[in-house]
Amino acid sequence: MKVDDLVDAFRDRFGAEPGVIARAPGRANLLGAHVDYSEGWVLPAAIDRAVWVAARPARGAETRLTALDLGEEASFDVAAAAPPVSERRGPSSWVDYPRGLAWTLGRRGIEVPPIDAVFGGDLPIGAGVSSSAAVEMAFLVAWEHLAGFQLSGLDRARIGRTVENDYVGVQSGIMDQFASVHGREGHALLLDCRSLQHELIPTPEDLVFLVADTGVRRALAAGTGFNDRKSECFRAADLLRPHLPALSTLRDLEPADLDRLRHVLEPPLDRRARHVATECRRVLDGAEALRDGDLDRLGDLMARSHRSSRNDYDVSIEELDVLQEAAASAEGCYGARLTGAGFGGCVTAITSEAAAGHVREWTAAAFERRFGRRPELHTCRVGTGAGIVTG
Binding stretches for ligand GLA (CB under 6 A) = 33-34, 36-37, 172-173, 175-176, 340-341
State in angstroms the smallest separation of the CB of 173 from ligand GLA: 4
Burial environment of residue 74 by CB neighbours within 10 A (0 to 12, 13 to 18, 19 or more): middle
State in angstroms the smallest separation of the CB of 333 from ligand GLA: 21
**DSSP 3-state assignment of 378?**
strand
Contact (Cβ atoms closer than 8 angstroms) between residue 198 and residue 179? no
Cβ-based nearer residue to ligand GLA, 37 or 119: 37
Q: Which of 199, 197, 175, 200 is CA-nearest to residue 185?
A: 200
Catalytic residue IDs = 176
State in angstroms the smallest separation of the CB of 149 from ligand GLA: 25
Cβ-based nearer residue to ligand GLA, 132 or 363: 132
CA 37 to chain centre: 13
State in angstroms the smallest separation of the CB of 172 from ligand GLA: 3
d(CA 167, CA 86): 8
To which H or E segment does residue 357 belong? helix 353-371
Partnered with residue 202 across adjacent β-strands are 187
The 10 Å Cβ neighbour count of residue 52 is: 24
State in angstroms the smallest separation of the CB of 278 from ligand GLA: 14
Partnered with residue 380 across adjacent β-strands are 209
Cβ-based nearer residue to ligand GLA, 91 or 340: 340
Residue nearest to ligand GLA according to CB distances in the complex: 172
Cβ-based nearer residue to ligand GLA, 18 or 98: 98
From residue 211, alpha-carbon distances to 109, 260, 356, 377 in Å are 39, 39, 11, 6
Partnered with residue 210 across adjacent β-strands are 349, 379
Cβ-based nearer residue to ligand GLA, 250 or 366: 250
